[in-house]
Structure 1
């Protein structure tokens, strides 16, 4: 039998040398494998980084979003709120439209025939300073004189029933207006050399009382710019853009009631000892004739020839606007240059009375019943649905009225006022009717919307006017 085992003779010295060599080899092998492992791990990590780096970049942002989402519905700590508030930039102040419009003098323009032109072409300032007011001009018209119906303080009586007293809303006629019957209304439209018409200020006890001092001042005015604010509805805006000549020759008068006076004093706007606030002479009116403040506002708007008995010209500006042009220049541009006796701002949205009536009802500015009464009367009288009279747009916006005080324009304004009292206070509805019915007022300047915008800065109504309570 063969023995497969092999014996090797090894001495102690040799065995130590061999063991040492083997240990060295083992160490070398171990060192090499560790180094190689680290190399491979680094390479694997590098490959992973190259592959997933977009994800790693996204993780912090995602964590922040999750953190913010978790805060929704929780109140931040006072410390954090304080810190954020200190770092927060202040918000820019956003100016209201009305405040942005105040005191603007820039001209309003429009494109005509491909050329941009100014809507209101005023004379140069040096010419305005030397502009004469034509006081002796005698306009040619069929009406030479207007007589206003007046009576004593006894109210109208039918049977034993007193029909017309102050603040009577059933008819709206009262001791200020007098009782215009339908028969008298018909006669008032007949053109004669002497016109007889109701025109407010019917009796001494009719209301709209102003002091004797104010009456005396109003009688000195030859040219007047006027406005009014009844019921505390609007602030007073100082006129701008006038020449020194206009400041000397023109009266600026604002009519207030006691409600407006109290409201303005609460805002710190007090009347000076000379009865002025800025350029406006303030006239306080007591005992207003109507509960409806819109009706009270029609008195200075339409009856300026009664309030300024010696004035030859007047300009009316609604209280929601700031007059911003030279009044003498406005008279020259809108009246004298075109040989007109009345200039009024035309309506920007509509041309037909009947379309305007629908809009009035839709906007709740009058009841359907009272509008229908007015339209029924106008249809009965034959008012056409034409959108233009004498080639001019008939429907007016009427926030600016420029006029010469002639017998014809005075009669026109009286007739217009009576229609407003009889029907609705929406004067846009009655203006075309009176213009059509009177028939003889031809030289009227219905100026466009852009001209009105050049005349005034539109501020809008500030507060709702308070009605009278007694």
Structure 2
């Protein structure tokens, strides 16, 4: 919200009330009773191979503990902010944001039809045909995900969200959480180590061939990438388009993603380390995106 455009106390109260309601929802779905019911209903559905899960749990004993304290949300800024998402193919259905602050514009890059009354404004990407030539839908998504400064040139700040992330409160707070690297994300709640993340990708996620994961791990070891460096989730990204370090991180991230293992969370961790950026300086949006009261995450189609 623009500074001085509304009553600050009243607006913060509204955002807090919305956040509280979403918090109650998360408390419900994370309760033992709800989880038991969900297991009973879906008992026939295999989420992942049992033997692979045993291998994974033998290697990863516990989740990392977050001792960082996060500042109270600040929903006010003097700059216009672009919040955008990118969906190609049938991977996600675009959902409407719940909140429309007067300093936030919503944009979508997609091959889907967008209703004329949607808060999402569809971006014409024809002028980027040369950049995108020969790319798969996943590669196109990552290009737009990593390079907002190339197509949102009229904005100093942007917030990227995955196609299954629904904005609920005022995302201006994310811009105000950006520190010196010029980029902010949520802390990874499950892993603080890129090598553990490799195991999750190999035995649970399984979107990348095991051989490619093994090659990436060997590369990281040869480069001297340390264990337990920390990790971020990459489904919500706040950026300062004028920050040189941020632009360098994005260029390096793209090069790593497009030339090596196609797991962007693994490649971003390496890029941050290579540029001498501590993960705690980037993981400023919150301790766990899955429990964030500012947004809602749907399951992919």
TM-score (norm 2): 0.69
Match of 1:413 among 250, 265, 272: 250
CA distance in 2, matches of 1:361, 1:417: 22
Tell me what 2:186 maps to: 345
**8 Å contact kept, 1:225–1:315:** yes
CA distance in 2, matches of 1:350, 1:291: 30
Tell me what 1:459 maps to: 298
TM-superposed CA distance for 1:369, in Å, is: 1.7
> Which structure has the greater CA radius of gyration?
1
1:394-424 per-residue CA deviation (whole Å, 9 max, x = no partner) reads: 2121111112121110110110111110112
**8 Å contact kept, 1:290–1:296:** no
- DSSP 3-state at the match of 2:160: strand
CA distance in 2, matches of 1:430, 1:228: 20
**8 Å contact kept, 1:108–1:454:** yes
- DSSP 3-state at the match of 1:314: strand
CA distance in 2, matches of 1:370, 1:300: 24
TM-superposed CA distance for 1:283, in Å, is: 1.9
Tell me what 1:320 maps to: 164
Tell me what 2:141 maps to: 297
CA distance in 1, matches of 2:290, 2:91: 26
CA distance in 1, matches of 2:232, 2:215: 21
What stretches of structure 2 of length at least 5 have no aligned partner? 1-17, 27-68
User: Superposed, which structure 2 residues align to 1:404-443 within 5 Å?
Assistant: 404-405=240-241, 406-440=243-277, 443=281
- DSSP 3-state at the match of 1:445: coil
Paired residues, what number?
Answer: 233
User: Superposed, which structure 2 residues align to 1:306-317 within 5 Å?
Assistant: 306-317=150-161
TM-superposed CA distance for 1:297, in Å, is: 0.9
Bigger relative contact order (CA 8 A; separation at least 6): 2
TM-superposed CA distance for 1:457, in Å, is: 0.7
**8 Å contact kept, 2:186–2:287:** yes
**8 Å contact kept, 1:346–1:449:** yes
The answer to whether structure 1 residue 255 and structure 2 residue 109 are counterparts is yes
- DSSP 3-state at the match of 1:108: helix
What stretches of structure 1 of length at least 5 have no aligned partner? 1-103, 111-117, 134-221, 262-269, 389-393, 463-470
- DSSP 3-state at the match of 1:414: helix
CA distance in 2, matches of 1:456, 1:425: 26
CA distance in 2, matches of 1:345, 1:328: 15
Tell me what 1:444 maps to: 282
User: Superposed, which structure 2 residues align to 1:54-203 within 5 Å?
Assistant: 106-108=21-23, 121-123=72-74, 128=76, 131-133=77-79
TM-superposed CA distance for 1:451, in Å, is: 7.8
TM-superposed CA distance for 1:231, in Å, is: 1.0
User: RMSD between aligned alpha carbons?
Assistant: 2.9
TM-superposed CA distance for 1:427, in Å, is: 0.6
1:46-81 per-residue CA deviation (whole Å, 9 max, x = no partner) reads: xxxxxxxxxxxxxxxxxxxxxxxxxxxxxxxxxxxx
TM-superposed CA distance for 1:240, in Å, is: 1.9
- DSSP 3-state at the match of 1:235: coil
TM-score (norm 1): 0.45
TM-superposed CA distance for 1:425, in Å, is: 2.0
CA distance in 1, matches of 2:124, 2:225: 39
Tell me what 2:88 maps to: 230
